Amino acid sequence: MPYASLEPAVMGWLQPAPRSTQAEIRRIAILLFDGFSLLGAGIVAEVFHVANELAVLRARNDWTYDVRFLSVEGGNVACSSSVRVWTDGLDARHYGGFDALFVAGGKGADGAAGDERIVEWLRRVHSKTTVVKSIAEGRKVLDAAGIGHAAETQIRVGHSMMHAVREEQASEAGDRYESMKGALLMIKRDLGVEVARGVAERLMPGSASKLVPLLGDSGTASAGDKIRTAARWLQDNCERPISVVDAAQVAAMSERNFLRRFKIEMGITPSDYLLQARLAVTCTLLTDSELPVDKIARRSGMGNGDRLAKIFRKRLLISPTEYRMQSRRDAGV
């Protein structure tokens, strides 16, 4: 039967969007079997692809998503409509696990459920994977590996979330919601509820309001979202003469509560977070420009050259000038 090849389109999915600064990478894998649902697997891949794009537009440099399609043997795998998708094969490189693994079933899922090699691979990878989620018949394979129930509960989907999509589950839109849930919840956790809502709206216009219960957003940002917003503001404005009090106002919190919540959410104090952001700007200017140290200190929000030198010796054990020479030497400049 003739088929269309998705390989060029898939390559677009696999490449994380370019970032203005280096972001940490979340490794996402979608395991395919012959006859898989292109709708289910495709919407998951597209959710992460759009999240990468929106993160760039909104200056979110927390995480970027690298999506990989996998299959048992690698190569082209045909979906239920005979469209073929190019995949990587399963091998020992994946034993380190993923940030998320989605298993998309199909007519090939029944055979895979009885294949001990696949079952063993899933068990090994599952132990080092944060989130495992089935797509359509993919549940059969996970059940055979003894991780079906765990896979569905690692992402905590409450009764209210399920109720939000129950009425649509028999329809095409309902299938999309079901496939999107795990991916959107990851994006909410990593990039905030607004990015997650933006992804839902981009892919399914008008759907964001229906997904409010799913995203856990009742119209008021959570304390964690407020802290992440303030952290982004600190990073974006670190070159200006700003303070922790200003950041607390951005988060709409008292200074005392802000300091406590920031340390819980970010693992670091706001002052240290701001200092690290300024140091990152300083290091970039030292390496990439010929500006004198004193001018770099003013541009990066560090005050003056003397203060910058003291911070560098305390934090990096070298002077700004020595850092410039060493970084250029390491880069072969």
Q: Which domains does the chain have, with CATH numbers?
A: 7-215 (3.40.50.880), 223-330 (1.10.10.60)
What is the per-residue DSSP string for 161-211? HHHHHHTTTTSHHHHHHHHHHHHHHHHHHHH-HHHHHHHHHHHSTT-TTTT
Q: Which two tokens stand for residue 34?
A: 């012959």
Q: Find the mean pLDDT for residues 152-163.
A: 36
pLDDT at position 228: 85
The whole-angstrom separation of Cα 275 and Cα 283 is 12
Q: Which two tokens stand for residue 240?
A: 């200006």
Per-residue model confidence as pLDDT tens digits over 234-285 = 888 888 888 888 888 888 888 889 999 998 888 889 999 999 889 989 998 9
Secondary structure class of 31 (helix, strand, coil) = strand
pLDDT at position 182: 79
What residues pair up with 75 in beta bridges, in sequence order? 87
Question: Sorting pLDDT into bands at 50, 70 and 90, what band is 208?
Answer: low
pLDDT at position 5: 36
Q: Find the mean pLDDT for residues 55-74.
A: 83
Per-residue model confidence as pLDDT tens digits over 128-146 = 887 888 887 777 778 777 7
Q: Find the mean pLDDT for residues 67-82.
A: 89
pLDDT at position 211: 61
pTM (whole model) above 0.85: no
What residues pair up with 79 in beta bridges, in sequence order? 36
Q: Find the mean pLDDT for residues 108-126.
A: 77
| Residues whose CB is less than 8 angstroms from the CB of residue 278 and which lie 6 or more positions away in sequence, other chains included | 238, 239, 300, 301, 302
Question: Sorting pLDDT into bands at 50, 70 and 90, what band is 13?
Answer: very low
Q: Picking from 59-73, 216-230, 247-261, which range would have the lowest pLDDT averaged per residue?
A: 216-230
Burial class, 314, CB count within 10 angstroms (exposed 0-12 / middle 13-18 / buried 19+) = exposed
